């Protein structure tokens, strides 16, 4: 069953499936993140940069690899670009909220 077919099912069936695969907490987390970053804006240049960064990170170097990625994840090109911009907004939110307080794991000050 494809994602699109699943979405076309009754909403209660979809919720039942999400609950049976412990996915509701993750969905709830993503919704909260979307609400938190909803006020973050991106310039057109930042959007292009976000897409470029996403393509590089995922080794999407040409149109064929982009199309294959979209097909694998059952996404349109617009959804892929929205995902890239979302990741950029999350990073921007973290920087605006916590600044330099965020450190990679293992680099915490020792006591």
pTM of the shown model: 0.76
Task: Give the pLDDT confidence score for residue 45 in this predicted structure.
Answer: 97
Please state, in angstroms and rounded to a whole number, the distance separating the CA atoms of residues 89 and 42. 8
Task: Give the pLDDT confidence score for residue 100 in this predicted structure.
Answer: 72
Domain ranges of the chain: 11-40, 41-96
Task: Give the pLDDT confidence score for residue 49 in this predicted structure.
Answer: 96
b (16+ CB within 10 A) / e for 57-95: eeebeeeeeeeebbeeeeeeeeebbeebbbebbeebbee
Q: Per-residue pLDDT for the chain (111 aa), expressed as one digit of tens each?
A: 666 665 666 777 877 888 888 888 898 999 999 999 999 999 999 999 999 999 999 999 999 999 999 999 999 999 999 999 999 999 999 999 888 775 656 555 555
Task: Give the pLDDT confidence score for residue 21 in this predicted structure.
Answer: 86
Task: Give the pLDDT confidence score for residue 11 in this predicted structure.
Answer: 75
Q: What is the fold, at CATH topology level, of the domain defined by 41-96?
A: Arc Repressor Mutant, subunit A (1.10.10)
Task: Give the pLDDT confidence score for residue 99 in this predicted structure.
Answer: 84
């Amino acid at each position: 069953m494809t994602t699109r077919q699943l979405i076309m099912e009754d909403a209660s069936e979809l919720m039942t499936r999400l609950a049976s695969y412990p996915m509701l907490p993750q969905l709830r987390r993503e919704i909260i993140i979307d609400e938190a970053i909803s006020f973050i804006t991106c310039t057109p240049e930042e959007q292009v940069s976000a897409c470029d960064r996403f393509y590089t990170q995922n080794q999407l170097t040409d149109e064929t690899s982009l199309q294959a990625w979209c097909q694998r994840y059952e996404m349109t090109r617009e959804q892929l670009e929205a995902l890239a911009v979302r990741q950029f907004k999350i990073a921007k939110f973290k920087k605006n909220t916590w600044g330099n307080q965020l450190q990679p794991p293992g680099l915490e000050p020792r006591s």
